[in-house]
A and B are shown apart, each in its own frame.
Chain A
Amino acid sequence: MHDRGAWPSDAPIDRTEHELADWEVLTDALVHSLAGEGLLNVDELRRGIESMPPDEYEQASYYERWIYSMEAILTEKGVLTTGEVDARLGS
Chain B
Amino acid sequence: MTFAVGDRVRVADRAHAGHHRTPGYVKGRRGRIERVHGSFTNPETRAYGSDGLPEVVLYQVAFELEPARTYVDVFEHWLEEAR
Interface residues of A (CB under 8 A from B): 1, 3, 5-8, 41, 43-44, 46-47, 50, 77
Q: Is the CB of B24 within 8 A of A47?
A: no
Contact indicator per residue, chain B 23-53, by CB within 8 Å of chain A (1) or not (0): 1110000000000000000011011110010
Give Cα distance in the complex from A1 to B67, angstroms.
8
Given A1-B67, A6-B25, CB of A44 within 8 Å of CB of B49? yes
Q: Is the CB of A43 within 8 A of B19?
A: yes
Q: Is the CB of B46 within 8 A of A5?
A: no
Main secondary structure of the interface of A (DSSP, over half): mixed
The residue among A1, A5, A7, A43 with the most chain B CB atoms within 10 A of its own CB is A43
Chain B: number of interface residues, binned into ranges: 10 to 19
Q: Is the CB of B19 within 8 A of A50?
A: yes
Q: Is the CB of B47 within 8 A of A46?
A: yes
A to B CB contacts below 8 Å, 23 in the list = A1-B67, A3-B23, A3-B25, A5-B23, A6-B23, A6-B24, A6-B25, A7-B24, A8-B25, A41-B47, A43-B43, A43-B47, A43-B52, A44-B46, A44-B47, A46-B19, A46-B43, A46-B47, A47-B18, A47-B19, A47-B47, A47-B48, A77-B49
Q: Is the CB of A41 within 8 A of B46?
A: yes
Closest chain B CB from A51 CB (angstroms): 9
Chain A residue contacts of B48, Cβ below 8 A: 44, 47
Give Cα distance in the complex from A5 to B20, angstroms.
10
Chain B residue contacts of A77, Cβ below 8 A: 49
Give Cα distance in the complex from A6 to B44, angstroms.
17
Give Cα distance in the complex from A47 to B24, angstroms.
16
